[in-house]
Amino acid sequence: MSDLFYGVAYYDEYMPEDRLAKDIALMRETGINVVRIAESTWSTLEPQEGEYNFYHIDRVLDAMHEAGIAVIIGTPTYAVPAWLAAKHPDILVTTVDGQQKYGPRQIMDIVNPTFRRYAEKIIRTLMAHVQHHPAIIGWQLDNETKHYDNIGRYMQEGFVRSLREQYPDLARLNKDFGLDYWSNRIDSWQDFPPVENTINASLACAFSRYQRQQVTEYLAWQADIVREYAQPHQFVTHNFDFEWRGYSYGVQPRVDHFAAAQALILPVSISITRVRST
């Protein structure tokens, strides 16, 4: 792959039906030679459970290929459909503010096994449908993935399991974490408290590290699925975002960029869609 790619995200699913040809003409005029599609399309691709509609994907792939524009397909898992949230409300992430309500994107619990089951199904169904299309040069896993401040049941239970593997002796855990301070000592794994309100900085840090590790595991899990379908010439990548506070950008604390990138075949991209002029 020696070409320099200059591209954009494209969302045919909410554009006017007759816009595609005009947009492609404008892309060619400006030198755009690659587009990313599909990462936000779960509810369009699967409007009801088990019912699939690939109309927008197919027409964009065919039109871009005819125009000589390459395509990157994103797995459509970072914005869940309404029917899934209604049927399985437990897939919505729980934070310190409680369980999130349906509406925004990026509100799923990435370690919830029910979410994983449905996510795997839509990934496999999409990839099986498009995997041999000649326009596709690569795959993007999810979108700007983070742990979304997840403190839910599966995150908490997994964290405790990881500590039990590391500390079969609770006395050592109490000593290493300084849990005698302010009566935080734990003498039974069954009594292990929720960690979101802990006063113990060491425990809070360990939980934060575990949350980031789950993002790494989640992306690696998706990468393994995608590689079952990807062609030898196609890459697998991800678009990590920056931390965004008051227009100041830095390393995103809700994912370990460096560890998570090991699951990819191509150096990661960075999403800069939120850059604003002042």
pLDDT tens digits along 76-92: 999 999 999 999 999 99
Strands 136-140 and 70-74 come out as: parallel
Rounded CA-CA distance 203/180 in Å is 12
Classify residue 43: in a domain, yes or no. yes
Could you tell me the CA-to-CA distances from 95 to 83, 137, 210 in Å, in that order?
22, 37, 15
Backbone angles phi, psi at 34, to 5 degrees: -155, 145
Classify residue 1: in a domain, yes or no. no
Classify residue 277: in a domain, yes or no. no
Classify residue 87: in a domain, yes or no. yes
pLDDT at position 263, please? Answer: 75
DSSP annotation of 143 reads S
pLDDT at position 274, please? Answer: 45
Classify residue 108: in a domain, yes or no. yes
pLDDT at position 43, please? Answer: 97
Residue span of the structural domain in which 154 resides: 7-271
Tell me the sheet residues that pair with 245.
Answer: 248
pLDDT at position 251, please? Answer: 72
Number of domains in the chain: 1
In the three-class reduction of DSSP (H, G, I as helix; E, B as strand; rest coil), residue 248 is classed as strand
pLDDT at position 92, please? Answer: 98
pLDDT tens digits along 247-259: 556 677 788 888 8
Rounded CA-CA distance 80/84 in Å is 7
Classify residue 151: in a domain, yes or no. yes
Could you tell me the CA-to-CA distances from 58 to 36, 65, 252 in Å, in that order?
14, 11, 34
pLDDT higher than 70, residue 270: no
| CATH assignment of the domain containing 142 | 3.20.20.80
pLDDT higher than 60, residue 151: yes
Rounded CA-CA distance 201/177 in Å is 9
Rounded CA-CA distance 34/61 in Å is 11
Return the structure tokens found at 232.
């030898």
Tell me how crowded residue 222 is: count the other CB atoms within 10 A of its CB.
25
Classify residue 223: in a domain, yes or no. yes
pLDDT at position 56, please? Answer: 97
pLDDT at position 46, please? Answer: 98
Classify residue 278: in a domain, yes or no. no
